[in-house]
Amino acid sequence: PVQKKFFDWMLALARFLLKKHGRPDLPNMISEWGYPSGVGAWEGSLLASSVMPIGIEAIPEPRQAQMLNVCLEMFARYDVGPVCLMTRDIEAEPAAGNPGFWGFHCGIIRADETQKPSYKTVKAWGQHVKDKSKKSKPKR
């Protein structure tokens, strides 16, 4: 709920600023976004971040799928695109005092190539995306 309100505020502000400055036609693009998930030792760990000094908590995989769905719903409402997703986690051993980089754990597929619950979320959303590369025939 808090993340949904935050994204709603950010996207509404972005649309407002684009309109205010005469460019409401420009698209919003999402980058540096995701929810790290983990099993075993990673779940609940604070993962390293270059921006957040306290780190970013790895959430359970079902929660990652839920948050991904909430965000994709919000992005669709604001016509955000493109949205870049990390496909596969990166296997990284934690360094001493560093539990790993959060971005390595945002994939929809685990490092061992098995699917996370978020894979099904993305697949379901993908079935609703129109192929914009196919141009419709002009009406005469």
CA distance 44 to 4: 21
pLDDT tens, N- to C-terminus, the chain (140 residues): 677 888 899 899 999 999 999 999 888 888 778 889 976 666 777 888 888 888 888 899 999 999 999 989 988 888 887 788 889 988 766 554 455 788 888 999 998 999 999 999 999 988 766 655 555 554 44
- Phi/psi of residue 8, nearest 5 degrees: -60, -45
- pTM of the model as a whole: 0.77
| pLDDT at position 140 | 40
Residue 26's contacts (CB-CB under 8 Å, 6 or more residues apart) are 18
